[in-house]
Amino acid sequence: MLWLCIHFHRLPLEVFSPARQAVPETALAIVERHRICAANAAALALGVRLDMSASSALALSDTLKLREREPAHEASTLATLADWACSFSSQVSISPPDRLLLEIGASLRLFGGVASLLQTAEAEVSARGHNVHHGLGPTPLSAELFARALPCKPSAPPAWAIHHDPEAFRHTLYALPIHFLDTPGKQQLAMQRMGLGRTGELFALPSAALGKRFGKDFSVYLARLHGERPDPRPLHRPREYFAHRVHFLEPIADAAMLLFPMQRLLGDMGRFLDRRQLYCQRLEWRLGMTRGAGQTLPVACSLQHNRVDALLGLTKLALEKLKLGGSVESLELACAESASLEAQAGQLFAHAQDSDPEAERLLLDRLRLRLGNERVHGIYVRDSHLPEQAWSAIQEPSAPIFGSAAPERPCWLLEKPVGLELRNGHPAWDGNLTLLSGPERIDTAWWATPHCRDYFIAQHEDGSLLWVFRERTTGQWFAQGVFG
Amino acid sequence: MKDASDPLETILARPDIWQAGRVSAANEPGHTLPSGYPALDAALHQGGWPRAALTELLATRCGIGEIQLLAPTLAHISRGGRRVFLVAPPHIPYAPALQALELQLTQIVVLRPQGRSELLWSLEQILRSGSCGCLLGWLEQDRAAADYASMRRLQIAARNTPGPVFLFRSPGPAATLSPAALRIRLEHEPGGLRLRILKQRGGRAGQEVLIGRSSRLLAPRVLPALLPTCVSGIGSEFQESRRFSATIQPVAPSSLPQPSMH
């Protein structure tokens, strides 16, 4: 067993500036319980010191930025890093607040030794904008201890780790000063008063006596540090999302030929999601082209289960609208959004007239894909006196808040009011109009574009009823609606 | 009561004997939907709008009361939690008016397909899905859309639909054949809407029904003196405004003519 501890010692700072900072760096310090707990180089140059109170740090300079520490953000960053670390080891565990533990003994052959593994890890972690300390040890606790006390350079890992020499390890461990041990300050003080300076002197004492003096936990800690007691760690489970890619030996120029690999990928995704009790809400096809930028084909799906045929049908519709800009070299399917499956009991005697929500969702998905989102919509009542603003098109139907207490309104609203001509002083629109009732005066929007209109219900000579108005400022007549 | 020993009943029970009055299962009472107008229900031999079949409404133009005719049906269906699809409507379906007609707005889906193929595709998809409470489609904008073959296709697709399907067409093709189960010609008549049943499957056609328009719309409520027909010139503006203030509503000072307007 060889444990690698990756210590993200600047994590509280790095969650605020994940990418590499541009020069000059702004002075940033992190505050926890009104005390500075971390500061970057620029802040240290201003004279900020750890454990300084926040107010005295602010007094040093007005360019200093203080941020409250965000443990939740740190934890999620660490979990993301743990996902990344799974590419180095099958045994990854998170040691809060800022350390990852990897058992790399089993991965050494794959990476070609300790040094090259550490260099790869270092390169990747710094590309993500993190500064780390590495520590190697045969037990998790010793790796953590070395990361704290003797961080090793990836280019020069300790000789004992390369040559698997337990004797040399013990020698290094015993030479460490006692204050690096992960024990409370009170115990540290007591050990110093006993005249102990190095870890080796501590291990020379009988463990029963140490346990009596410093408590059972301390002797367990020492035994685990040394590897005499097992130290089980909870394993990190990588987060679950689906993204699979296939490469074609021969580039595909015909979109229809993509359907077969698509079906296979959808089947894979269905199995993946089914195992995790998830269903796909939006999937994304990424087409890698032989030339030029790749194309992305998003498919939204509101079905609540992973039915390959339904997903394939939606994909087909999306493909019909897609213009292939060249030959497709690779195809990737990513489940962009998923939600957890809620098991629903099917109906044994489904009545033919009962509406099937699944079929309805699939229908709306298909219509939206083919016609476009803006051509499939619901309608909604808005609170406005101006008739053209009293409705709106919405994507997701929701119940209107406003009731309609309005007088007679036409079922059909014209896209834009149509100007009417005046014939012998009467408004006319491809035929004479007779005013039946009105006027209803709407005088609104004086704060923006004022509208002062007198609305009438008019009958066309062919019998249809129109909603016309006269703009009072200009005296012009318009038709705005039709009473269906 | 059927008597198994009756020779006529035995013959009629044979599957290869077809009775003109018994078109299909669609003749049963559960397969129609009351229209909300007793006179119309009486004229329709099934007692209401046919479900799972096309109903053609041939109208010269919109605005003669066609939505008022369907409003009770649409309100009933949408309140029952079923979708109402409006495909290629001639104008914007105006939400406040539909709400006043007691339609459940959350159940209304408006589709604006472009061109003939999208229109027919959308209609067919909706009908085939079987999840449509009611479909209103306007075919008149694209004459070519309504040829016999495509109507036949829609009629077959409509067999899966639990609700009624209304297709608006211009009265031009009234003389032509149509596979629709029910064809009604809508005509304006002073004071209402005249329905002439051109065809009903399994029943007699030729009935005429008059449906009055909402009295709130037709009742003349304009005082002749108020009609701004005399407003040919700007000079009468002032007089007219004063009359408004005297008879109908108190007019805010801001709506009185300002010198700057003239």
The verdict on B66 touching A (C-beta cutoff 8 Å) is yes
User: What are the structure tokens assigned to B46, written together?
Assistant: 């099934």
Question: In the predicted model, what is the mean pLDDT of residues A56-67?
Answer: 85
Question: In the predicted model, what is the mean pLDDT of residues B221-231?
Answer: 54
The verdict on A441 touching B (C-beta cutoff 8 Å) is yes
Please judge whether A463 and B219 are an interchain contact, meaning their C-beta atoms are less than 8 angstroms apart: no
* In chain B, domain spans: 23-213, 216-248
Please judge whether A482 and B63 are an interchain contact, meaning their C-beta atoms are less than 8 angstroms apart: yes
B106, closest residue in chain A (CA to CA): A397
Please judge whether A460 and B213 are an interchain contact, meaning their C-beta atoms are less than 8 angstroms apart: no
Q: Report pLDDT digits (tens) over B104-163.
A: 888 889 999 888 888 888 998 898 888 888 999 988 765 555 678 888 888 888 887 888
Place of tokens 């607040």: A97
pLDDT at A4: 92
Residues 6+ apart with CB under 8 A from A288: A245, A294, A328, A329, A330, A331, A332
pLDDT at A442: 84
CA–CA min distance B59, chain A (Å): 11
Give the separation between CA A294 and CA A245, rounded to whole angstroms.
Answer: 13
B227, closest residue in chain A (CA to CA): A435
The verdict on B131 touching A (C-beta cutoff 8 Å) is yes
pLDDT > 70: percent of chain A: 91
The verdict on A341 touching B (C-beta cutoff 8 Å) is no
Q: Report pLDDT digits (tens) over A348-372.
A: 554 444 556 777 888 888 888 888 8
Q: Report pLDDT digits (tens) over A408-431.
A: 788 899 888 888 888 877 888 888
pLDDT at B21: 62
pLDDT-derived band of residue A345, with 50, 70 and 90 as boundaries? low
Question: Minimum mean pLDDT among A169-173, A290-294, B246-250: which range?
Answer: B246-250
Q: Report pLDDT digits (tens) over A461-479.
A: 888 888 888 888 888 889 8
Q: Report pLDDT digits (tens) over B71-106.
A: 999 999 888 888 899 998 888 998 888 888 888 888
B262, closest residue in chain A (CA to CA): A473
Residues in chain B, total: 262
Question: In the predicted model, what is the mean pLDDT of residues A145-171?
Answer: 82
CA–CA min distance A351, chain B (Å): 11
The verdict on B172 touching A (C-beta cutoff 8 Å) is no
Give the one of A360, A411, A457 whose C-beta lies nearest to B93's C-beta. A411
pLDDT at B235: 35
Q: What is the CATH number of domain A243-343?
A: 3.30.1490.100
DSSP A164: T
Give the separation between CA B235 and CA B254, rounded to whole angstroms.
Answer: 18
Q: Report pLDDT digits (tens) over A13-31.
A: 887 764 444 445 778 888 8
Residue type, B168: F
| Chain A partners within 8 Å of B31 (Cβ) | none
| Interface list for B 20-49 with A (CB within 8 A) | none
Give the separation between CA A5 and CA A355, rounded to whole angstroms.
Answer: 58
Give the one of A392, A408, A470 whose C-beta lies nearest to B228's C-beta. A470
Name the CA dihedral angle for B56, A363, A357, B161, rounded to a multiple of 10 degrees: 30
Look up the ipTM and state it. 0.75
The verdict on A359 touching B (C-beta cutoff 8 Å) is yes
A433-444 vs A426-428, strand pairing mode: unpaired
Name the CA dihedral angle for A196, A201, A206, A209, rounded to a multiple of 10 degrees: 10
Are A428 and A406 contacting, i.e. CB atoms less than 8 angstroms apart? no
Maximal CA-CA distance, chain A:
118
Whether pLDDT at A482 is above 60: yes
| Chain A partners within 8 Å of B219 (Cβ) | 436-437
Best residue in B82, B105, B231, B255 for a mutation probing chain A (most A CBs within 10 Å): B105
DSSP secondary structure string for all residues of A79-145: HHHHHHHTTT-S-EEEETTTEEEEE-GGGHHHHTSHHHHHHHHHHHHHHTT---EEEEESSHHHHHH
The verdict on B213 touching A (C-beta cutoff 8 Å) is yes
Whether pLDDT at B245 is above 50: no
Are A268 and A243 contacting, i.e. CB atoms less than 8 angstroms apart? no
| Chain B partners within 8 Å of A461 (Cβ) | none
Please judge whether B230 and A425 are an interchain contact, meaning their C-beta atoms are less than 8 angstroms apart: yes
Whether pLDDT at B252 is above 60: no
Question: In the predicted model, what is the mean pLDDT of residues A160-184?
Answer: 84
The verdict on B238 touching A (C-beta cutoff 8 Å) is no
User: What are the structure tokens assigned to A95, written together?
Assistant: 């040691």
The verdict on A399 touching B (C-beta cutoff 8 Å) is yes
Q: Please tell me which residue, A450 or A48, carries the higher pLDDT value.
A: A48
Backbone angles phi, psi at B97, to 5 degrees: -70, -40
Best residue in A368, A375, A379, A384 for a mutation probing chain B (most B CBs within 10 Å): A379
CA–CA min distance A361, chain B (Å): 9
The verdict on B110 touching A (C-beta cutoff 8 Å) is yes
The verdict on A205 touching B (C-beta cutoff 8 Å) is no
Q: Report pLDDT digits (tens) over B36-61.
A: 888 888 888 888 888 888 898 888 77
Please judge whether A412 and B237 are an interchain contact, meaning their C-beta atoms are less than 8 angstroms apart: no
| Chain A partners within 8 Å of B91 (Cβ) | 412-415, 481-482
Please judge whether B109 and A475 are an interchain contact, meaning their C-beta atoms are less than 8 angstroms apart: no
User: What are the structure tokens assigned to B221, written together?
Assistant: 């409520």
Please judge whether B62 and A484 are an interchain contact, meaning their C-beta atoms are less than 8 angstroms apart: yes
| Chain A partners within 8 Å of B211 (Cβ) | none
pLDDT at B246: 31
Q: Strand, helix or coil at B187?
A: strand
Give the separation between CA B68 and CA B70, rounded to whole angstroms.
Answer: 5
Tell me, which fold does domain B23-213 have in CATH?
Rossmann fold (3.40.50)
Question: Minimum mean pLDDT among A140-144, B12-16, B221-225: which range?
Answer: B221-225
Q: Strand, helix or coil at A397?
A: coil
Provide, for chain A, the percentages of residues in helix, strand and coil under a 3-state DSSP scheme, each rounded to the nearest 5.
Answer: 35, 30, 35
